[in-house]
Amino acid sequence: MKTISKNIVPRGFKFAGIHCGIKRKKKDLGLIYSDTPAVAAGLWTTNKMQAAPIQICKKNIENKIQAIIVNSGNANCGLRQGRKDALLINEWVGRELGINQECILPASTGIIGIPLPIDKIKKRVSFLVRELKEESDDFAEAILTTDKVSKQVALELKIGGKEVIISGVAKGSGMISPKMATMLCFVTTDIDIDKALLKDCLKKAVENSFNQITIDGEMSTNDTVLCLANGRAGNNKLQAAGLRLQAEKEENRNLEKFQEGLNYVTAYLAKEIVKDGEGATKLIEIEVQGAKKEGDAEKVARRIANSNLIKAMFYGESTNYGRIAAAIGATGVDLKNVDIHLVGNKSKIKIFKQGYFINVDEGLLKKILEEKEMKLKVDLNKGNFSEKLLTCDLSEEYVRINK
Amino acid sequence: MKTISKNIVPRGFKFAGIHCGIKRKKKDLGLIYSDTPAVAAGLWTTNKMQAAPIQICKKNIENKIQAIIVNSGNANCGLRQGRKDALLINEWVGRELGINQECILPASTGIIGIPLPIDKIKKRVSFLVRELKEESDDFAEAILTTDKVSKQVALELKIGGKEVIISGVAKGSGMISPKMATMLCFVTTDIDIDKALLKDCLKKAVENSFNQITIDGEMSTNDTVLCLANGRAGNNKLQAAGLRLQAEKEENRNLEKFQEGLNYVTAYLAKEIVKDGEGATKLIEIEVQGAKKEGDAEKVARRIANSNLIKAMFYGESTNYGRIAAAIGATGVDLKNVDIHLVGNKSKIKIFKQGYFINVDEGLLKKILEEKEMKLKVDLNKGNFSEKLLTCDLSEEYVRINK
């Protein structure tokens, strides 16, 4: 596994990103095109309020896919004409690319509840298609909303002697607390893989990346992760165990390699999203272990990760750590036996031992709090369940962005 | 029922508030004394992490009570010596007042996890007792933390021809999202009432006041509501139905009157707390009706009331109301049939109808958003369960106070 230049795309894929007028100045319309029909897998928000493009994605994803069309600045969500508008865009893009519109997956991100200015999109579809090229910089820019930086990663694997590329592009950066899905993320790869297997791999990768981040505890209406695999790498097709022709061992190793690559791409992008969270100045990993029941570790980790008081404490680098124990207690989980550590780059400090605060070296604590990335480790000392979450701090800027 | 000057106290009660040195300058030690032993009722936080004074309160409240001792600036929470410290304070106060220390209820509020400077308290107990007087201004000031204003209310009732006074003093103003209990609130009254009945009345009053507010979704470790009734008004004792001697009808009416008075006091203080929420500039009532299941209405109301994005929207008076529907959907409640209204002082506007956003008069919407108090009304149109919550907006100041 080798990371390569972030904007490199897999064989047969082209990307484009332009300004069409949904936003005032910035790029707001993106397109991914595969010259070869690709198998596709997707995961979406579990919010009951789902944007129109998601409904179309869920239907079209059963087909082989050749394009993904994305707009930013408007979520196309909660509107009677939402579905009709998204279908029209698919129709225009399909016509321009010369492909069936049911081979296109749409996605939107931005403000909820305002009709999409589809005429502006219509006028620019043909230009968008002409802009397609073998790198993803413009596309990565075109899908951003309040993100400060674009988020891309690409890597190269050897699968059965063939070179396989996996590329990922994502955006954040508010309303981020996915559960079984996430913000927008588009993974493309030239690997040849069975559709059901791709779906499995994507699910595993998302479970340990995007589902373990939270910026503000808010669940989006538009969260979408899509993965296209067009087979252009020419490897022996990765098949689920029952369908395999080749030696089991080599197949397993190849699948493992692909899963590792996919995990890397999604985990990298998940971390980038939290680092660029609205108003974020710090990245904090919350690790809860020793839970008695499966749900307890996640409950405690989410309560801490979404606590305004704790996030403001990290932002202010203040030692008001009593808030951490208060948040744990608020979940109903017993505090007897609990230990809490704050872990910095070079040092580690215990702040709570067996259910009670202890005298700490304030100087050392301050030093860790001043770092840009740290880990808060909670050991419930009751059992074997654990959970990890990535979160960021809460600054005045979050309020300024969202007011 | 007649509201009277806020700092008037019931017959037989005296209040004091002084500076003892837990805080730098402001008052931080308060005392309530009743010359007549009073029946008492209490409710406390359901957080598993409970401050030491709460544990002592829960035991002592079985006795007739003559004093409440409160410090602010330090929560006496999560410390091995917490219980011992709180008992020592009770001992000193008891000695100074000449009463049994088990007739004293302690309460603390402030920073969690730091030992109480009990020597500072010890030195000032005798001065505190000398400061006792028949008004509650100093006490109301002495229990504040980040509150900007003190919160007091008093009213007068006629119960069976006798004049009864109910007085309430409370503090907020962060870490406020009580469930079955609340921040600090001390209600004193000179009514003569059966202990079990007082507890019932207090529970009802709290259920519809303090349990319906949220500032930041954070649950405190020190939430305490105490109510003392010393019987000095000389009314025929209010008894539970089984114990009554008098005509049922008049008794019922007297009890109703007292409950109304108590409800008024707690609701008034609850509203004051939200208005003075950390960084708050607006008061918003969230009313959810038409829920199919009992828990649904509360789930939706709490999700909205604790959403940083919605609170920031109210603060910015911005029309990004798509966030409201997103928050509802995030609870798993279906949005089909949902209607949403924003209700101002003089006008009302529908923003979401039968599951979709509708074209709104932006000018009118803006005008309502600019008001200081408003109501957000969500009708799920599925059944008969409803819930009300009071909340405030989220400003940069909340982060500044807590960083």
Cα distance between residue B342 and residue B42, in whole Å: 36
Q: Report percent pLDDT > 90 for chain B.
A: 65
**B325 to A78: CB separation less than 8 angstroms, yes or no:** yes
Cα distance between residue B168 and residue A264, in whole Å: 58
* pLDDT bracket for residue B315 (50, 70, 90): very high
Which residues 70-109 of chain B have a CB within 8 Å of chain A? Answer: 75, 77-80
pLDDT of residue B263: 92
Q: What phi and psi, each to the nearest 5 degrees, are found at residue B189?
A: -150, 155
Whether the bond between A108 and the residue before it is cis, its omega within 30 degrees of 0, is no
* pLDDT bracket for residue A156 (50, 70, 90): very high
Whether A146 shows a pLDDT value over 90: the answer reads no
Angle, helices B322-330 vs B308-316, to 10°: value is: 160
What number is the average pLDDT over the span B118-138? Answer: 97
Tokens 């596309």, located at residue: A139
* pLDDT bracket for residue B182 (50, 70, 90): very low
pTM (two decimals): 0.82
pLDDT per residue as tens digits for the range A13-71: 999 999 999 999 999 999 999 999 999 999 888 888 888 999 999 999 999 999 999 99
Q: What domains are there in chain A, each with its CATH number? A: 2-275 (3.60.70.12), 283-402 (3.10.20.340)
pLDDT of residue A312: 94
pLDDT of residue B245: 63
Reported ipTM: 0.80
> Which of B218, B340, B365 is most worth mutating to test chain A (most A CB atoms within 10 A of its CB)?
B218
> Which of A44, A47, A180, A299 is most worth mutating to test chain B (most B CB atoms within 10 A of its CB)?
A47
pLDDT of residue B181: 42
Q: Report percent pLDDT > 90 for chain A.
A: 64
**A112 to B352: CB separation less than 8 angstroms, yes or no:** no
**A78 to B312: CB separation less than 8 angstroms, yes or no:** no
Taking the Cβ of residue A323 and every Cβ of chain B, the question of whether any pair is shorter than 8 Å is answered with yes
Name the strand (E) or helix (H) holding A44.
strand A29-44
Q: Tell me how far the alpha carbon of residue A330 is from its chain's centroid.
A: 28
pLDDT per residue as tens digits for the range A182-209: 478 889 999 999 999 999 999 998 888 8
- In terms of CA atoms, which chain B residue is nearest residue A317? B403
Reduced to 3 states (helix: H, G, I; strand: E, B; else coil), residue B119 is: helix
pLDDT of residue A24: 93
Positions of A marked active-site: 182
Contact B360, B351 (CB under 8 A): yes
Lowest mean pLDDT among A174-178, A224-228, B188-192, B235-239: A174-178
**Residues in B touching A402 (Cβ below 8 Å):** 308-309, 312-313, 316, 320
Which residues 263-282 of chain B have a CB within 8 Å of chain A? Answer: none
Of A75, A316, A328, the CB nearest to B322: A75
Cα distance between residue B126 and residue B97, in whole Å: 9
- In terms of CA atoms, which chain A residue is nearest residue B114? A357
pLDDT of residue B82: 94
pLDDT per residue as tens digits for the range A59-103: 999 999 999 999 999 999 888 899 999 999 999 999 999 999 999
DSSP string covering A18-38 = E--SSSSSS--EEEEEEEEEE
pLDDT per residue as tens digits for the range B375-385: 999 999 999 99
Which residues 338-357 of chain A have a CB within 8 Å of chain B? Answer: 352, 355-357
> Which of A357, A362, A369 is most worth mutating to test chain B (most B CB atoms within 10 A of its CB)?
A357
Average pLDDT, chain B: 90
Whether A178 shows a pLDDT value over 60: the answer reads no
**Residues in A touching B403 (Cβ below 8 Å):** 312-313, 315-316, 318, 395
Of A47, A111, A315, the CB nearest to B330: A47
pLDDT of residue A247: 65
Name the strand (E) or helix (H) holding A96.
helix A82-97
Tokens 């981040």, located at residue: A213
> Which of A80, A278, A296, A308 is most worth mutating to test chain B (most B CB atoms within 10 A of its CB)?
A308
Size of interface A-B (CB pairs under 8 A): 184
Nearest Cα to Cα of residue B121 among B53, B175, B182 = B53
pLDDT of residue B180: 41
pLDDT of residue B358: 87
Cα distance between residue B241 and residue B221, in whole Å: 35
pLDDT per residue as tens digits for the range A108-130: 998 888 899 999 999 999 999 99
Taking the Cβ of residue B258 and every Cβ of chain A, the question of whether any pair is shorter than 8 Å is answered with no
pLDDT of residue A169: 92
Cα distance between residue B286 and residue B389, in whole Å: 5
Q: Tell me how far the alpha carbon of residue A167 is from its chain's centroid.
A: 13
What number is the average pLDDT over the span B163-177? Answer: 84
**B316 to A402: CB separation less than 8 angstroms, yes or no:** yes
What 3 state SS string does A147-166 have? CCCCEEEEEEEEECCEEEEE
What number is the average pLDDT over the span B23-49? Answer: 92
Cα distance between residue B382 and residue A32, in whole Å: 42
**Residues in B touching A50 (Cβ below 8 Å):** 329
Of B325, B394, B402, the CB nearest to A49: B325
**Residues in B touching A332 (Cβ below 8 Å):** 46, 48
Taking the Cβ of residue B188 and every Cβ of chain A, the question of whether any pair is shorter than 8 Å is answered with no
**B217 to A321: CB separation less than 8 angstroms, yes or no:** no
Q: Which of B1-5, B206-210, B227-231 has the highest mean pLDDT?
A: B227-231
**Residues in B touching A320 (Cβ below 8 Å):** 111-112, 402
Contact A140, A150 (CB under 8 A): yes
**B113 to A313: CB separation less than 8 angstroms, yes or no:** no
What number is the average pLDDT over the span A322-336? Answer: 88
Cα distance between residue A210 and residue B351, in whole Å: 32
**Residues in B touching A308 (Cβ below 8 Å):** 216-218, 308, 398, 402
> Which of A76, A114, A218 is most worth mutating to test chain B (most B CB atoms within 10 A of its CB)?
A218
**Residues in B touching A80 (Cβ below 8 Å):** 356
pLDDT of residue A111: 87
pLDDT per residue as tens digits for the range B84-99: 999 999 999 999 999 9
pLDDT per residue as tens digits for the range A337-392: 999 999 999 999 999 999 888 888 989 999 999 999 999 999 999 999 999 999 99
pLDDT per residue as tens digits for the range A297-315: 999 999 999 999 899 999 9
Whether A181 shows a pLDDT value over 60: the answer reads no
**Residues in B touching A299 (Cβ below 8 Å):** none
| Between B319 and A312, the higher pLDDT residue | A312
**B329 to A47: CB separation less than 8 angstroms, yes or no:** yes
Q: Report percent pLDDT > 70 for chain A.
A: 96
Cα distance between residue B40 and residue B226, in whole Å: 7
Q: CA of A198, closest CA in chain B: separation in Å?
A: 28
Q: Where are the beta strands (DSSP E) in B22-172?
A: 29-44, 65-74, 104-111, 151-159, 162-171
Whether B179 shows a pLDDT value over 80: the answer reads no
**A329 to B47: CB separation less than 8 angstroms, yes or no:** yes
Q: CA of B78, closest CA in chain A: separation in Å?
A: 5
* pLDDT bracket for residue A176 (50, 70, 90): low
Taking the Cβ of residue B391 and every Cβ of chain A, the question of whether any pair is shorter than 8 Å is answered with no
* pLDDT bracket for residue A179 (50, 70, 90): low
Beta bridge partners of A86: none
pLDDT of residue A182: 47
Which residues 300-319 of chain A have a CB within 8 Å of chain B? Answer: 307-309, 312-313, 315-316, 318
Q: CA of A385, closest CA in chain B: separation in Å?
A: 20
Contact B285, B278 (CB under 8 A): no
**B335 to A48: CB separation less than 8 angstroms, yes or no:** yes
Q: What phi and psi, each to the nearest 5 degrees, are found at residue B15?
A: -130, 150
